[in-house]
Amino acid sequence: MSAEISPASAGAFTWDRAWRGALKPVVFVLCLMPLLWLIVRALTVGLGANPIEAGIRYLGDWALRFVLIALAVTPLRIATGWNIVARLRRMLGLFAYFHVVVHIFGYVGVDHFFDWAAIGNDIVKRTYITVGMMALVMLTPLAITSTDGMVRRLGGAAWRRLHQLVYPAAVAGVIHYFMMIKAGYQEPLLYAVILAALFGVRIYKKWA
């Protein structure tokens, strides 16, 4: 991850400096909106006849979207030259992980109410759960090593190598989605296409 230049260094007020300083807090608040919206709906109009299923799926969708959004930062920077967006990458990655965790809590804590025997059975028997679990296993060390201290301790090269795990994790997330569906694959296909495009930009950049 690129080192951050503090925008708060001394100097007079300028609009440019102000929006640079505001970018992160604003994006942070925006990133909280999907979960907030879910909670507000759950407490007011409700989430339909099967609220647990609706909640788990909604959070799964956002987990995958945040993974893709975090992966889109670098291509966006390359395409536009807006170097400032690089500052958002860590936060977006952590939001992805946060939604993964809440998504899985919906399954473990709400749907199965910590019935570990049933959950263990699911992880072994239901391939889409196995694949989701694999994605979780790949994403967890990335979240743990996201702090500046960890980047320093690992060293940039090792850290970057470790964080390559986000690619197989993203692929596993899309496969997990494909596998849980019975028929009609348009939505996961859309995610697959977006993921392929994000890969495409990186590969193109490497060779061009």
Report d(CA 65, CA 165) in Å as an integer: 17
Q: Name residues contacting another protein, limited to 91-110 (CB under 8 A).
A: 110
Q: Rule CB under 8 A: is residue 128 a binding residue for another protein?
A: yes
Number of Cβ atoms within 10 Å of the Cβ of 186: 7
Query: What residues have CB less than 8 Å from 134, skipping those under 6 apart?
Result: 172
Q: In this chain, which of 24, 41, 57, 163 binds ligand HEM, going by CB under 6 A?
A: 57
Contacts of 178 (CB under 8 A, 6+ apart): 185, 188, 192
Query: How many residues sit in the footprint of another protein (CB under 8 A)?
Result: 30
- Which residue type occupies 156? G
Position 193 contacts another protein (CB under 8 A): no
One of 8, 10, 43, 157 touching another protein (CB under 8 A): 43
Q: What's the Cα-to-Cα distance from 56 to each of 38, 79, 119, rounded to whole Å?
A: 10, 34, 15
CB under 8 A: which stretch of 77-85, 94-102, 126-134, 135-143 binds another protein? Answer: 126-134
Q: Which of 4, 53, 115, 148 binds ligand HEM (CB under 6 A)?
A: 53
Which residue type does 169 have?
A
Instruction: Give yes or no for residue 171 binding ligand HEM (CB under 6 A).
Output: no
Residue 40 engages another protein in binding (rule: CB under 8 A)? no
Segments in the chain forming alpha helices (H): 15-43, 51-80, 89-105, 116-125, 127-144, 148-154, 156-163, 166-180, 186-207
Residue type for position 98: F
Could you say which of 63, 71, 102, 195 contacts ligand HEM (CB under 6 A)? 63
The binder of 49, among another protein, ligand HEM, none, by C-beta within 5 to 8 A per type, is another protein
Q: Is 195 an interacting residue with respect to ligand HEM (CB under 6 A)?
A: no
Residue whose entry in the numeric block shows the structure tokens 């940039």: 156
Contact (Cβ atoms closer than 8 angstroms) between residue 52 and residue 106: yes
Site for another protein in 46-65 (CB under 8 A): 46-53, 55
Which CB atom, from 23 or from 42, has the smaller least distance to another protein?
42
Distance of CA 173 to the CA centre of its chain: 10
**Interaction site with another protein (CB under 8 A):** 42-43, 46-53, 55, 110-113, 115, 118, 121-122, 125-128, 180-186
**Interaction site with ligand HEM (CB under 6 A):** 53, 56-57, 60-61, 63-64, 67, 100, 103-104, 107, 129, 132-133, 135-136, 173, 176-177, 180
